[in-house]
């Protein structure tokens, strides 16, 4: 018998998305987002929910483009770091050693080491309160491996917003808002 556990922004599995943008000066930035997912298949579109204070928010508003990079579990600490500090203050790619690569289609970078990236242009925004929803039309997907077998070697990092732990489906593997601190000088 199910019982009420209250109003929660909680779903499982919840992939850890790393959203990449360029700032006004052309510096590549990466921010970790838990709130996002596929929104439509015709046109192919996804949604991401971004709080206005984020540096990423300003970049989304001005460049109207972003990439969503699915996070392999082995990059849990890097993704956590991307969610702990702001591109307003630091160069997150320089700090982690990950590689931004300019998309050939949209005005945003991909992460070379992450094997699955969606290239998007901003089509709509919707102010929901704490977050603004950005609807991005998917212009292309860049993936390693065969299109028919992308996921068999992909150990996806997911986020449990209840316990604030990262999971590589099944087991908790790192502390959220904690494990990335090793990159903070």
Return residues touching ligand FMN (CB under 6 A).
29, 31-35, 49-51, 54-56, 80, 83, 85-88, 131, 159, 176-177
Please report how close the Cβ of residue 149 comes to ligand FMN at its closest, in angstroms: 28
Q: 32 or 69, CB closer to ligand FMN? A: 32
CB of 30 to ligand FMN, least distance (A): 7
Q: In what order do the strands lie in the sheet with 65-70?
A: 28-33, 17-22, 65-70, 116-127, 132-143, 44-50, 36-41
d(CA 168, CA 172): 7
Q: How far is the CB of 3 from ligand FMN (least distance, A)?
A: 27
Give the residue with the Cβ less far from ligand FMN, 88 or 104: 88
* Residue closest to ligand FMN when measured from CB atoms: 83
> Which one, 112 or 184, has the nearer CB to ligand FMN?
184
Question: Residue 54 or 63: which CB sits closer to ligand FMN?
Answer: 54
Closest separation in Å from C-beta 24 to ligand FMN: 13
| Burial zone of 133 (CB within 10 Å; 0-12 exposed, 13-18 middle, 19+ buried) | middle
Cβ contact 50:17 at 8 Å: no
CA distances from 74 to 38, 77, 105, 136 (A): 24, 8, 28, 27
CB of 103 to ligand FMN, least distance (A): 18
Q: 165 has which bridge partners? A: 160, 175
């Amino acid at each position: 018998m199910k019982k009420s556990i209250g109003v929660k922004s909680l779903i499982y599995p919840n992939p850890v998305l790393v959203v990449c943008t360029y700032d006004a000066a052309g510096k590549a930035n990466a921010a970790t987002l838990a709130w996002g997912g596929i929104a439509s298949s015709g046109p192919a579109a996804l949604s991401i929910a971004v709080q206005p204070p984020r540096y990423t928010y300003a970049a989304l508003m001005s460049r109207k483009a972003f990439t969503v990079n699915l996070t392999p579990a082995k990059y849990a600490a890097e993704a956590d770091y991307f969610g702990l500090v702001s591109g307003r203050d630091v160069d997150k790619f320089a700090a982690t050693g990950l590689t931004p690569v300019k998309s050939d289609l949209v005005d945003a970078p991909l992460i070379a080491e992450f094997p699955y990236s969606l290239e998007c242009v901003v089509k709509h925004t919707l102010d929901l309160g704490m977050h603004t929803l950005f609807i991005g039309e998917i212009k292309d997907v860049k993936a390693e491996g065969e299109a028919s077998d992308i996921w068999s070697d992909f150990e996806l990092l997911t986020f449990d917003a209840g316990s604030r732990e990262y999971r590589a489906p099944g087991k908790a593997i790192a502390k959220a808002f904690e494990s990335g601190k090793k990159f903070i000088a």
